[in-house]
Amino acid sequence: MEFTCRHQALMQGLTAVERAVASNSPRPVLAGIYLEAKDNQLRMVATDLELSIECYVPAVVIEPGKTVLDGKVLSQIVRKLDSEDVAYTSIDAAMGRIEGGKARFSLHTLYADEFPTLPELPNEKFWRISQNVFKRMVKQTIIAVSTDEAQPSLNGVLLEVENDELRMVATDINRLAFKRAKLAEPTEALTKHIVPARTLQELTRLLSGEEDSELEFMIAGTQVVFKSGSVTIISRLIEGEFPEYRRAFPQTQPTRFRVNRTAFLAAVERASLIARRSVPPVVKLVATADNLSVSSQEAQVGQVYDEVGGVNDGEPGEATYQAFYIMEALRAMDTEEVIMEIGEGLRQGSMRPVGESDYLYVLMPVRVG
Amino acid sequence: MSKNSRTVVHVDMDAFFCAVETLHHPEYAGKCLIVGGYKDAPRAVVSSCSYEARRYGVHSAMPIAQAARLCPHGIFVPPNMALYKEVSAKLHALFRQIAPVVEPVSIDEAFLDMTGCEHFYPDLAGMGRSIQEQVYKTTGCTASIGIAPCKFLAKLASDLRKPQGLYIITEDNVDAVLLPLPVNKLWGVGEKTTQALARHSIYTVAELRTKSQAWLQSMFGSAGAQLYALARGIDDRPVEPPGPAKSIGHEVTFAVDLPIRKALNEELPAIAQAVARRLQRDGRYGRTVMLKVRFSDFTTLTRQHTLPNSVVSVTDILRAATSLLKNVKETKPVRLLGIYITDLSKHQQLSLFADPRKQKIEQLLRRLKQQDPNCPITTATAFSIRQTGKRKEGP
């Protein structure tokens, strides 16, 4: 195998795939990045068997072929090269040479035949959605994903596709984030699948965020496939039942307080300076007609009382919530104003951005002892 | 010793359980009294023994059967914890009257920080005698007292002249006391450290003192710095009043070692039940369930799992503890089983998907238990667990 490609392009490809390189696998070949040169393209693949990332980079292919190089070593070397082009030549079955400028590396290769092949994708239509929209959906829902390994079905985000809508839902059973958006074109049947949070994190890292770029995705058996430009991500889906999330939606909320998002966030951040020593750190919200107070007290530390102005569209109300539940939701929203809805008694509270009806964040209060 | 010298008093009651027993049974006075489980119980150990019994080689934590061989004419009585707790409460109340800061160590032992109170007494010896007198007047039992500028030395001192001892360690006599001591008398020095030091021919504090801090740190990490300080009688730990409990739990040593499966099925539910009752009584919630297993060879392992939400009911606790125990791969027979709940909080995070009826019932039970800890109302699950436990205790 022999090829040359642009340093920058190679670097971009490596950055995309290296996150799927297995770090502690009993199969040594999974610590490598698979390289295949043909048709003036370099195909790169890394997989830890849960998550696979594939990327194509333009290359001048002198002699087609394939090999596997240690992922970490390869990325570090290419990162340090400062030539415009990088060349690769197979020396023999077990060695390869990387050249950039005057630097010349000889590297041991891994057995390309042992590298797992990616599953064949069914010849079905991809769903399409704006990358920016998708990125924002992930950002606003992934905060509620549970990290409790005993509940694997909550370690991911539910992706529900129905008609022309994509819905994302995540919950750790104490709070829930729901977001919906339009697909580029309508689809038929309802499908719902749980995508691991890590897959979505890696995916959004790779999305360009350019105004008109699109993301394509489809379900292929027990896998989900995302395509963005020359990058394809294939990930296992989480098996198991996702809770009936609509059960968690509040019916009518007696207290609906409209408040400036950044002012509210700052007040909760300040209050959590006192709360953070308690288990769990909680803040108390009290809504009157035109004031939302944020307070907290901790025996060993002290207490805090803060107010943010706003408009209460309902009745006065109060509740105590975990501080970071509120902070994470406020940071995930980007409108100027938000509505903080307090449930009756110990019922769930909810938060939504003003002027956007496609996002809902539900949170349960804390019963104060 | 530090410049800002402190006055720390360690009060340690003399053969406390025996002393309390003798108060109620004057006929025991001057006899070989041994408080512990019943003589025939296979696992019973000595909880406390009178100084007369100690002359025969009996000491606490010794199996009762062995004590009976050493001291066949001894009087053996089972412990009456309720009674000891009653006297202990009086004792600790007295400590809080005497000292501005009190750190209870156990039922019959406490540190008193008397810094700044020295002028109330003619001298430190006078302070010590005064405390001893007040303890005797309040409880009818005698105490040994150590006074020193830090906790470690105070505790050491109270042990030097037992019973009814009073020993004061100051800058003038600290070396005389400390240097000849074996290293395992230092706070935090257990079997492993003792062995490691012995490999370098360090057996006494005097020998330890010859070693540099750098050398000790290279050998024992951060514990090395502590060794260096303790060997010089330096211990900066403050006398601290007790904070809120860090964990709530319950453990049981079985009369005979049990196969793990049997322990799981027959013993775990009752332990979970006891823990749930304590949580309810204290009005606390906790998210981390810790399981403690001690095997027949005394090896002990702990496993823990943190749940997304606080455990409330006996079912929650039992479910978590059961899955922890099922993951224990050891096959040795089990001697002791315990469940502890940590990450305690007075607050309870509510769940979006919880069964509202179940929550209401649990809340109601909790309120009833707090009003009256002996309230017999319970859930059917808990009731059936208790029944199983009862049947087992029978003949």
- Percent of the residues in chain B that have a pLDDT greater than 90, as a whole number: 47
Tell me the range of B126-140, B320-334, B339-353 where mean pLDDT is highest: B126-140
Task: Closest CB to A282: pick one of B323, B347, B351.
Answer: B347
**Given an 8 Å threshold on Cβ–Cβ distance, is A366 in contact with B350?**
yes
Q: What is the pLDDT of residue B140?
A: 93
Q: What is the pLDDT of residues A143-198, one digit of tens each?
A: 999 988 888 999 999 999 998 999 999 999 999 999 999 998 888 778 999 999 99
Q: Which of B21, B52, B109, B267 is catalytic?
A: B109
3-state secondary structure chain B: CCCCCCCEEEEEECCHHHHHHHHHCHHHCCCCEEEECCCCCCCCEEEEECHHHHCCCCCCCCEHHHHHHHCCCCEEECCCHHHHHHHHHHHHHHHHHHCCEEEEEECCEEEEECCCCHHHCCCHHHHHHHHHHHHHHHHCCCEEEEEECCHHHHHHHHCCCCCCCEEECCCCCHHHHHCCCEHHHCCCCCHHHHHHHHCCCCCEHHHHHCCCHHHHHHHHCHHHHHHHHHCCCCCCCCCCCCCCCCCEEEEEEEEEEECHHHHHHHHHHHHHHHHHHHHHHHCCEEEEEEEEEEECCCCEEEEEEEEEEEECCHHHHHHHHHHHHHCCCCCCCEEEEEEEEECCECCEECCCCCCHHHHHHHHHHHHHHHHCCCCCCCCHHHHHHHHHHHHHHCC
Q: Which of A357, A348, A171, A339 is nearest to A250 (CA)?
A: A348
| pLDDT confidence bin for B1, thresholds 50/70/90 | very low
On the question of pLDDT at B297 being above 70, the answer is: yes
Average pLDDT, chain B: 87
Cβ-based contacts under 8 A for chains A and B: 65
Q: What is the pLDDT of residue B41?
A: 67
| pLDDT confidence bin for B283, thresholds 50/70/90 | confident
- Chain B residues with CB-CB distance to A322 below 8 A: 349
Segments of chain A with pLDDT less than 50: none
**Cα Rg of chain B, angstroms:** 24
**Annotated catalytic residue B118:** no
Q: What is the pLDDT of residue B386?
A: 56
**Given an 8 Å threshold on Cβ–Cβ distance, is A150 in contact with B307?**
yes
Q: What is the pLDDT of residues B21-77, one digit of tens each?
A: 999 999 999 999 999 876 566 678 898 999 999 999 999 888 888 888 999 999 999
What's the rounded mean pLDDT across residues B332-355? 88
On the question of pLDDT at B395 being above 50, the answer is: no
**Given an 8 Å threshold on Cβ–Cβ distance, is A279 in contact with B348?**
no
Helix (H, G, I), strand (E, B) or coil at A96: strand
Q: Which strand (E) or helix (H) includes residue A47?
A: strand A41-47
Q: What is the pLDDT of residue B266?
A: 85
What's the rounded mean pLDDT across residues B306-311? 82
- Show which of residues 200-259 on chain A sit within 8 Å of chain B, judged by CB atoms: 243, 247-248
**Can you list the domains of chain A with their CATH numbers?**
2-114 (3.10.150.10), 127-246 (3.10.150.10), 249-363 (3.10.150.10)
Report CA-CA distances (Å) from A232 to A161, A236, A302, A364, B235: 20, 13, 52, 38, 61
Q: Which of B360, B375, B374, B251 is nearest to B313 (CA)?
A: B360
- Chain B residues with CB-CB distance to A148 below 8 A: 306-308
When comparing pLDDT for B164 and B280, which is higher?
B164
Is A146 touching B (CB cutoff 8 A)? yes
**Given an 8 Å threshold on Cβ–Cβ distance, is A366 in contact with B348?**
yes
**Can you list the domains of chain B with their CATH numbers?**
8-15+82-173 (3.30.70.270), 16-81 (3.40.1170.60), 179-230 (1.10.150.20), 248-348 (3.30.1490.100), 355-395 (no CATH)
| pLDDT confidence bin for B138, thresholds 50/70/90 | very high
Among A241, A296, A367, A368, pick the best mutation site for testing chain B contact (most B Cβ within 10 A): A367
- Distance between CA atoms of residues B9 and B146, nearest Å: 6
On the question of pLDDT at B341 being above 70, the answer is: yes
When comparing pLDDT for B388 and A10, which is higher?
A10
- Chain B residues with CB-CB distance to A324 below 8 A: none
Over the range B341-376, which residues count as b (16 or more CB within 10 Å of their CB) and which as e?
bbbbbebbbbbbeeeeeebeebeebbeebeeeeeee
Q: What is the pLDDT of residue B264?
A: 84
Question: So what's the ipTM on this one?
Answer: 0.85
On the question of pLDDT at B372 being above 70, the answer is: yes
**Given an 8 Å threshold on Cβ–Cβ distance, is A366 in contact with B353?**
no
Q: Which of B16, B178, B15, B5 is nearest to B84 (CA)?
A: B16
Is B308 touching A (CB cutoff 8 A)? yes
| pLDDT confidence bin for B260, thresholds 50/70/90 | confident
Q: What is the pLDDT of residue B6?
A: 92
- Chain A residues with CB-CB distance to B346 below 8 A: 368-369
Q: Which strand (E) or helix (H) includes residue A326?
A: helix A323-332
- Chain B residues with CB-CB distance to A151 below 8 A: 308
Is A336 touching B (CB cutoff 8 A)? no
Tell me the range of A331-335, B255-259, B310-314, B319-323 where mean pLDDT is highest: A331-335
